[in-house]
């Protein structure tokens, strides 16, 4: 090998590294994997954990989602706002497999095509969803609710022979403490207050150890204090989990984004597509947004 060739090689390598560094962007310097795609494994090396492209859903001619495109980075917390009928819940339905879009693509990581999967499969690969109306198993106790949500084999046979081990018991105990329901562990979930049910549902989501959390109006019906605690909880999750929070409550959005000071982005939906995206302050200043939503 001649020195010339070595020099040329070093130049090419340096050039490649410069390009990689320049294009790192949202992936935080991680390199895209060129190895074989592992099916069922979440691949976030390209930066995005959730990628929606050109999603269109129409119900009897009414376009609930109109060419919606959205990308959420790994570890990001994104707030989504929009007036009623903007398509927020439909978007969650598409991501979680409840509604099939007429057009478009939805990927979890870079390799998992969400449009080919059923609801329970999507849930098992790590997308947790909280409904607008708190949905818990009302006839079961708080403890049993968390036990069912606990990450474990979902098959019929393993459920029949399932026994909690010490570690899992500790996880449930820690979760009960986190969601402030330790004293109600044996209460029937149906007897909890509205705010407590919301917390229980969030707890159930976290027991599944999801990579992406979709939260549809998580603080509806909560007291101010509960709302504040919820905001703290979500901010503590960020980093390990990616969160998408759909909310009407501007005060809560303000708390989550610290009024734009922590650099969290807000997306405004309107008539089924993205109207604006940016920091809360930018969005609030946006003419179009003021017109359709915030202003009057």
Partner 1 sequence: MSAVLPTPMAATIVPRVGLLSLKSWGAVALALVVVAGIVPILNLAVPAGSTFHASDYAVQLVAKIMCYAICALAMDLIWGYTGILSLGHGVFFALGGYAMGMYLMRQIGSDGQYRLPMPDFMVFLNWKEFPWHWAVSDSFIAQMLLVVLVPGLLAFVFGYFAFRSRIKGVYFSIITQAMTYAAMLLFFRNETGFGGNNGFTDFKRILGTPIATPSMRMLLFVITGCTLIGFFLLARWLVNSKFGRVLQAIRDAETRVMFTGYDPLRYKLAIWVISAVMCGIAGALYVPQVGIINPGEMSPAASIEIAIWAAVGGRGTLIGPIVGAFFVNGAKSWFTQAFPEFWLYFLGALFIAVTIFLPQGIIGLLRRKKEGT
Residues in contact with partner 1 by CB under 8 A are 96, 98, 118-120, 123-124, 128-129, 131, 135-140, 143-144, 147-149, 154-156, 159-162, 164, 169-174, 176-177, 182, 185-186, 204, 208
Shorter beta-carbon distance to partner 1: residue 43 or 201:
201
Strands 242-246 and 77-81: parallel
- Least distance in angstroms from the C-beta of 290 to partner 1: 35
- Least distance in angstroms from the C-beta of 168 to partner 1: 10
- Least distance in angstroms from the C-beta of 93 to partner 1: 11
- Least distance in angstroms from the C-beta of 71 to partner 1: 23
Shorter beta-carbon distance to partner 1: residue 45 or 90:
90
- Least distance in angstroms from the C-beta of 129 to partner 1: 5
Strands 265-270 and 77-81: parallel
* E strand spans, 109-228: 112-113, 127-130, 212-216
- Mind giving me the DSSP string for 115-140? GGS-HHHHHHTTEEEE-SS----TTS
Give residue for tokens 């409904």.
Answer: 131
Closest to 66 in 3D by CA, of 95, 89, 86: 86
- Mind giving me the DSSP string for 74-115? TT-EEEEE--TTSSHHHHHHHHTTSS--SEEEEEETTTEEGG
Shorter beta-carbon distance to partner 1: residue 90 or 284:
90
- Least distance in angstroms from the C-beta of 171 to partner 1: 7
123 close to 92: Cβ distance less than 8 angstroms: no
Shorter beta-carbon distance to partner 1: residue 2 or 120:
120
Shorter beta-carbon distance to partner 1: residue 39 or 120:
120
274 close to 68: Cβ distance less than 8 angstroms: yes
Burial pattern 43-66, b for ≥16 Cβ within 10 A else e, equals bbbbbbbbbbeebbbeeeeebbbb
Shorter beta-carbon distance to partner 1: residue 56 or 162:
162
């Amino acid at each position: 090998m001649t020195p010339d060739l070595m020099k040329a090689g070093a130049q090419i390598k340096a050039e490649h590294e410069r390009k990689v560094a320049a294009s790192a962007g949202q992936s935080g310097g991680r390199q895209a994997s060129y190895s074989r795609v592992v099916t069922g494994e979440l691949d976030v090396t390209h930066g995005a954990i959730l990628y929606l492209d050109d999603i269109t859903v129409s119900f009897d001619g009414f376009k609930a989602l109109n060419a919606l495109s959205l990308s959420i980075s790994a570890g990001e917390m994104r707030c989504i706002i929009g007036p009623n009928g903007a398509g927020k819940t439909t978007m969650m339905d598409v991501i979680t497999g409840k509604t099939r879009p007429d057009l478009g693509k939805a990927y979890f990581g870079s390799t998992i095509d969400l449009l080919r999967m059923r609801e329970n499969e999507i849930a098992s690969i790590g997308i947790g969803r909280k409904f607008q109306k708190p949905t818990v198993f009302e006839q079961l106790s708080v403890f049993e609710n968390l036990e069912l949500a606990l990450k474990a084999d979902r098959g019929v046979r393993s459920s029949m022979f399932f026994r909690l081990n010490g570690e899992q018991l500790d996880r449930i105990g820690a979760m009960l403490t986190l969601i402030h329901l330790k004293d109600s562990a044996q209460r029937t979930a149906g007897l909890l207050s509205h705010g407590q049910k919301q917390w229980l549902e969030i707890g159930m989501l976290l027991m599944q150890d999801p990579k992406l959390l979709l939260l549809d109006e998580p603080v509806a019906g909560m007291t101010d204090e509960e709302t504040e605690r919820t905001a703290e909880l979500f901010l503590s999750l960020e980093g390990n989990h990616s969160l998408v929070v759909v909310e009407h409550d501007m005060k809560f959005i303000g708390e989550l984004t610290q009024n734009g000071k922590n650099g969290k982005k807000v997306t405004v939906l309107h008539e089924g597509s993205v109207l604006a995206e940016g920091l809360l302050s930018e969005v609030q200043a946006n003419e179009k947004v003021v017109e359709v939503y915030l202003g009057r």
